[in-house]
């Protein structure tokens, strides 16, 4: 049934939330060893190369694919950037979308009046593992120094206290938002990195839908991303996002997509973004992983 994901290990973490919420640690003891195995197996996906890359781990989506998935609003937000702006792609894989932004097709599809040439934004690709191909340095060599940058070797959670810098546009297409074990910290860091009036476009696969009723796609009784409220009822991600201060949220379930995809457009309206806390209670490694969180409100 679940041919798109590699299900490596199911873990109920109520007793040990502090362990799974931290960066990988390697402790002794039978339970710890199970936890460590799950984390290592998820890490193996990031480390995989060549034939060992799981089929479902797509790292080379084009900018056209980003636009098709995220919306025309994303396309217009990217088109509106100029040389003083910055774009961050969180979970960028090979960074293909950024490379395409600097390619001739983007210019042909977004012509300026009077054949003026576009002054493009600086763009930063962020990935745990370095997935760059030869096309990255080849493109960088044609651009001004610092126009594109590739950050790897760390997770988003390791860029705290403003170390990422500030961005006018942030994208995340099946990147850290889909893979993180700490959605709250992800949102805090991403929104702190977003300038006021900036836009963040992201998505989730098979999350509990915000509008129409739909059965889970991969499992019979649980969605890939679940949020459980204190009263035991399920919350959808869209409602959770709408509780963040200084953010306008537009959620859109893609019609007819299999597996189902819901997109999220966050527009930052003012500076202080407070994110409601979530605690991870269950984790199934995969591409992307299955996660269950508990909310406090």
Q: Is 124 in the site for ligand SAM (CB under 6 A)?
A: no
* Binding characters for ligand SAM, 37-56, by CB under 6 A (x = yes): ---------x----------
Q: Is 123 in the site for ligand SAM (CB under 6 A)?
A: no
Find the DSSP H helices in 21-173: 30-47, 63-70, 72-79, 96-101, 104-109, 135-140
Q: Is 180 in the site for ligand SAM (CB under 6 A)?
A: yes
The residue range among 34-42, 124-132, 213-221, 241-249 that interacts with ligand SAM, by the rule CB under 6 A, is 124-132
The residue range among 9-17, 58-66, 214-222, 289-297 that interacts with ligand SAM, by the rule CB under 6 A, is 58-66
Rounded least distance, CB 56 to ligand SAM, Å: 8
81 in Cβ contact with 116 (< 8 Å) = no
Rounded Cα–Cα distance for residues 269 and 138 (Å): 37
Which residues have CB under 8 Å from 243's CB, separation 6+? 276, 297
Q: Is 179 in the site for ligand SAM (CB under 6 A)?
A: yes
C-beta closer to ligand SAM: residue 60 or 107: 60
Q: Is the peptide bond before 288 cis (omega within 30 degrees of 0)?
A: yes
The residue range among 127-135, 206-214, 257-265, 269-277 that interacts with ligand SAM, by the rule CB under 6 A, is 127-135
Q: How many other CB atoms sit within 10 Å of the CB of residue 57?
A: 18
Within 13 Å, how many C-alpha atoms sit on residue 181's CB side?
Answer: 22
Residues that bind ligand SAM (CB under 6 A): 46, 57-61, 91-93, 126-129, 131, 155-156, 173-176, 179-180
């Amino acid at each position: 049934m679940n041919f798109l994901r590699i299900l490596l290990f199911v873990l109920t973490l109520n007793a040990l939330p502090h362990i799974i919420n931290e960066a990988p640690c390697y402790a002794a003891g039978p339970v710890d060893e199970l936890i460590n195995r799950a984390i290592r197996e998820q890490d193996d996906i990031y480390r995989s190369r060549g034939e060992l890359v799981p089929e479902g781990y797509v790292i080379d989506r084009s900018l056209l694919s980003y636009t098709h998935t995220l919306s025309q609003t994303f396309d217009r937000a990217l088109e509106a950037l100029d040389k003083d702006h910055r774009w961050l792609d969180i979970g960028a894989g090979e960074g293909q979308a950024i490379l395409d932004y600097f390619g001739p097709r983007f210019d042909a599809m977004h012509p300026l009046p009077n054949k003026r040439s576009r002054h493009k934004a600086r763009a930063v690709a962020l990935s745990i593992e370095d997935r760059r191909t030869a096309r990255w340095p080849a493109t960088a060599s044609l651009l001004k120094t610092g126009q594109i940058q590739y950050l790897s070797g760390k997770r988003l959670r390791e860029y705290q206290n403003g170390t990422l810098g500030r961005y006018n546009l942030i994208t995340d297409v099946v990147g850290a938002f889909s893979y993180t074990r700490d959605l709250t910290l992800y949102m805090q860091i991403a929104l702190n990195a977003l300038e006021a009036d900036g836009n963040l476009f992201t998505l989730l696969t098979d999350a509990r839908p915000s509008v129409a009723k739909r059965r889970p796609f991969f499992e019979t009784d649980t969605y890939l991303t679940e949020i459980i409220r204190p009263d035991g009822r399920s919350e959808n991600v869209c409602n959770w996002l709408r509780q963040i201060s200084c953010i306008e949220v537009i959620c859109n379930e893609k019609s007819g997509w299999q597996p189902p995809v819901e997109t999220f457009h966050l527009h930052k309206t003012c500076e202080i973004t407070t994110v409601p806390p979530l605690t991870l209670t269950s984790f199934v490694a995969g591409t992307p992983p299955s996660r269950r969180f508990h909310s406090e409100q």
